[in-house]
């Protein structure tokens, strides 16, 4: 009898398709959300593509800071592309289904990219620390090989974490439940579909979130403590202002990304507020990638000069 029950549960673990409920309780908001997601998606594609192209075309932007910024821009492009089109279709049509295979891929890719960004932001904080606190040794500390290794660690650890999380989540029996109360396939939302005890999964999710979210955040905070101390020692007001500007953009991006990520993942899914969780997920997946290019380039005179050089075909040297 136990074998029969186990076989039935396993058979029903993967429905043919999932239904993404999204804002089913508030259908009047779907058109508004469609417009918001479309605008965010288009602006993300344009803004991050410009940063990548400019960094490739202008020799003066081939620095460690822009190397990591290129990685961040590519992450944002991939992240919004993995989620945006599906959300647009769901907001526009009444048929809000996603195949189980597509859901699994979306879960793995989006979680992998998000985890990678957590570690990458810590690497970017170390780059800012080296630039402000160790200016004479900066080129040695942040050599090309070191930058490449730090970026590689970010990508490998991010997708490694996603592989573990996705495998554990998708191995749960869903017992025929296929209505996901979310805009896309996300771990906390999928855990609520399972018909078995998910306490082990929740504990593992919390543990991995501490490693991927909190440890990089602690390293970022430590870096900025040293950076702040170094800036306060600068006697020149202009020097302080310049040093502050080199770090302000990154710190703002960190605040936006980690704030929403911690809210979404560092709490048990059983305590996960439906509407608040969905809105927070929408923020860090669609809104934050729009803000990142603006934050990094709006007051960046070096980037503005690079744009003028490329447009006017002036020599970079």
| Contact of 70 with 51, CB cutoff 8 Å | yes
Strand order across the 97-99 sheet:
97-99, 17-20, 179-180
* Cβ within 8 Å of residue 284, ≥6 positions away: 114, 256, 257, 260, 261, 264
SS3 99: strand
Tokens in use for 242?
A: 């310049």
Predicted pLDDT of residue 315: 53
SS3 content of the chain, % helix, strand, coil (to 5): 80, 5, 20
Angle at 71 between CA 169 and CA 129, to 5 degrees: 105
Distance separating alpha carbons of residues 8 and 2, to the nearest angstrom = 10
| Contact of 296 with 69, CB cutoff 8 Å | yes
Q: Tell me how long the chain is.
A: 317
Closest CA relative to residue 10, chosen from 192, 180, 185, 195: 195
State the DSSP code for 210.
I
The two counts, helices (H) then strands (E), for the chain are 13, 3
State the DSSP code for 179.
E
State the DSSP code for 14.
S
Sign of the Cα torsion 172, 114, 221, 216 reads positive
| Residue 57 falls in which region: left (phi positive, over 0), alpha (psi -120 to 50) or beta | alpha
Dmax of the chain from CA atoms?
A: 79
Distance separating alpha carbons of residues 248 and 3, to the nearest angstrom = 59
Tokens in use for 61?
A: 């932007």
Distance separating alpha carbons of residues 57 and 18, to the nearest angstrom = 44
Q: Go through the domains of the chain in sequence order and give each one's CATH number.
A: 12-311 (1.20.1070.10)
State the DSSP code for 176.
T
pLDDT (tens place) for every residue of the chain, 317 residues total: 444 434 343 434 455 778 888 777 777 888 888 999 999 999 999 999 988 988 888 878 888 988 999 999 999 999 999 998 988 888 888 778 888 888 899 999 999 999 999 999 999 999 999 988 888 899 999 999 999 999 999 999 999 999 999 998 888 887 767 888 888 888 888 888 888 888 888 888 888 888 888 899 999 999 989 988 888 887 777 777 777 777 777 788 888 888 777 776 665 555 555 666 677 778 878 888 888 888 887 667 777 777 777 777 655 54
Beta strand 17-20 with 179-180 is: parallel
Distance separating alpha carbons of residues 264 and 123, to the nearest angstrom = 23
To which residue do tokens 């953009």 refer? 249
């Amino acid at each position: 009898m136990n074998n029969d029950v186990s076989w039935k549960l396993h058979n029903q673990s993967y429905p043919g398709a999932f239904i993404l409920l999204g804002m089913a309780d508030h259908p009047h908001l779907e058109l508004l959300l469609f417009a918001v997601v479309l605008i965010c998606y288009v602006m993300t594609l344009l803004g991050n593509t410009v940063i990548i192209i400019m960094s490739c075309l202008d020799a003066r932007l081939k620095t460690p800071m822009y190397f990591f910024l290129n990685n961040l821009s590519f992450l944002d492009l991939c992240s919004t592309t993995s989620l945006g089109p599906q959300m647009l279709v769901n907001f526009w049509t009444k048929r809000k289904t996603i195949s189980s295979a597509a859901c699994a891929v979306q879960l793995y890719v989006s979680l992998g990219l998000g985890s990678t960004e957590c570690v990458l932001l810590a690497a970017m904080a170390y780059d800012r620390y080296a630039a402000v606190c160790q200016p004479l040794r900066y080129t040695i500390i942040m050599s090309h090989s070191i930058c490449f290794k730090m970026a590689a660690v970010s990508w490998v650890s991010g997708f490694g974490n996603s592989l573990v999380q996705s495998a554990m989540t998708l191995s749960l029996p869903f017992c025929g439940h296929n209505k996901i109360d979310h805009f896309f396939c996300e771990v906390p939302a999928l855990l609520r579909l399972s018909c078995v005890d998910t306490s082990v999964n929740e504990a593992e999710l919390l543990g991995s979130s501490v490693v991927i979210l909190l440890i990089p955040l602690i390293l970022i905070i430590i870096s900025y403590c040293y950076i702040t101390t170094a800036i306060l020692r600068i006697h020149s007001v202009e020097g302080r202002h310049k040093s502050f500007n080199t770090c302000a953009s990154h710190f703002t991006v960190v605040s936006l990304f980690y704030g929403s990520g911690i809210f979404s993942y560092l709490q048990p899914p059983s305590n996960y507020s439906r509407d608040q969780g969905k809105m927070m997920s929408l923020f860090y997946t669609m809104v934050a990638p729009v803000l990142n290019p603006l934050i990094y380039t709006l007051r960046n005179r070096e980037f503005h000069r690079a744009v003028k050089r490329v447009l006017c075909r002036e020599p970079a040297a």
